[in-house]
Amino acid sequence: MQRIRDIFFFLSILFVGFPSLGPLAIENQLRNNLAQQVSMECSTAIVFSQLSLLPSRLQTETRANPFKSWKERTRQSTRFQCHKMYVPGFGTSPESTAAQHLHHFFNFIAVKIVAAQLQGYNPEAYEELREFLDRNSLNDGDKFCADLMRESPRHKNLALRILEVRSAYCKDDFEWDNLKRLASKMVDDSNKKLMRDYIVDTSCIADGKQICN
């Protein structure tokens, strides 16, 4: 026991810096310092262990549901946006039906473009195309081009030119944004006109004046 106290005394001289104290006081002081250091280390270890568990917990929750917060923010808005009008009687979507009509329309436009080009630099081919148009309808664009291809080698070249023009016009020249704007405006203007005409017809008043007896 005395040897242990001597060891504590020499340690105090080297590290603690209070050689004026006796061995017993030094031992008690060192024990207190050691107890405080152990307590601080334990507290620090607990804090770091809690912090180390936090990321893994967050990562586990994130892996389980990475879009949880996004879903919670958009759940209500998505609920209202997902419902669209049901359109009965269509084997395909209305957009597909409209695309089919536009397909034939683009073929009609391509025929007009090719005819105008031929009229300027190849009058003979222009007359052949005009003669074929007199005998065949443009209601079905694909059937028109198929029949034109089989008419003669010269007509086949005209058909290939029409196919090229209608594809380029659809992809490059047709203004899709303008189509949407004009279609929406046409619907709104027509609705307003119909309601205005109905009010005039039923109230006999136009521009604040009586127009009927």
Does residue 158 sit in the same domain as residue 201?
no
pTM: 0.56
Structural domain contains residue 21: yes
Does residue 164 sit in the same domain as residue 197?
no
Structural domain contains residue 24: yes
Give residue 164's pLDDT: 97
- Strand stretches in 14-62, DSSP E: none
Structural domain contains residue 80: no
Q: Mind listing the pLDDT tens digit for each residue in 120-138? A: 889 999 999 999 999 999 9
What is the domain extent for residue 148? 96-173
Task: Output the DSSP codes for 144-213.
Answer: HHHHHHTT-HHHHHHHHHHHHHHHHIIIIIS-HHHHHHHHHHHHHHHHHHHHHHHHHHHH-EETTEE---
Does residue 119 sit in the same domain as residue 140?
yes
Give residue 152's pLDDT: 92
Q: Which residues contact 125 (CB under 8 A, 6 or more apart)?
A: 118, 154, 158
Question: Residue 133: exposed, middle, or buried by beta-carbon count in 10 A (0-12, 13-18, 19+)?
Answer: middle
Better-predicted residue by pLDDT, 20 or 146: 146
